[in-house]
Amino acid sequence: MINSIKRDLSAALAELYAASKLEAGAILVVGCSTSEVIGQRIGTAGSEEAARAIFDAINAFCRERGVFLAAQCCEHLNRALVVERALWVRERLVRVNAIPRRNAGGAFATEAYGGMEEPVMVESIQADFGVDIGHTLIGMHLKAVAVPIRTSVTAIGEAPIVLARTRCKYIGGERAAYDPDLG
């Protein structure tokens, strides 16, 4: 199962990135229920092994493309996020005091906190694109206009996957002209 998690997630991320037209420095928010990945109900059976596989695939993707990861915690930590210190500084995010654990934050956020070089916890973020594995509700951490992206991958393990990119808001009405590279 671990090999298929990495393979499927890497494929979904590649398709999302291709559809998103993003550059280095973009922010990827990921919410993940490892319980759902292993076929259990969300919040009931977090899996460190699944979390490690998912973090490894996402971390490799982010490093290869110069993208920042924002790992969303579960509702026990108010869906706060684990990010690298450099992103916290760059974006001037509101830092919060918590350290995720399997039963308060979730297995994936715990793995991200342990796997990042200089992790800090922040209250919220406005990410450029995102991955929701197992109905974790990442929408609050995406920029205002989110566009769902369909990929060939529909699940990671047993968990449904939803992917999205964001775009600039269109303003000005029928007489306005728009930059096609921003849509």
Using CA atoms, how far apart are residues 96 and 3, in angstroms rounded to an integer?
Answer: 34
Using CA atoms, how far apart are residues 83 and 141, in angstroms rounded to an integer?
Answer: 13
SS3 78: coil
* Domains, the chain, ordered by start: 2-182 (3.40.50.10360)
Average pLDDT estimate for 127-131: 98
Average pLDDT estimate for 107-134: 98
pLDDT digits (tens, 9 = 90+) for 75-111: 889 999 999 999 999 999 999 999 999 989 999 999 9
* Helices and strands (H and E) in the chain: how many: 5, 8
**Mean pLDDT across the chain, nearest whole number?**
95
- Listed as own residue / partner, the contacts of 56-61 with beta carbons closer than 8 Å and 24 or more positions apart are 56/6, 56/115, 57/5, 57/6, 57/9, 57/10, 57/13, 58/9, 58/13, 58/28, 58/30, 58/131, 59/115, 60/10, 61/10, 61/13, 61/14, 61/17, 61/28
Q: Residue 163: in which H helix or E strand, if any?
A: strand 159-166
Query: Is 24 within 8 Å of 74 (Cβ atoms)?
Result: no
**Which segment of 8-17, 76-85, 89-98, 173-182 scores lowest on mean pLDDT?**
173-182
Q: Evaluate if residue 1 carries a pLDDT over 90.
A: no
Using CA atoms, how far apart are residues 121 and 94, in angstroms rounded to an integer?
Answer: 9
pTM across the whole model: 0.93
Average pLDDT estimate for 62-80: 95
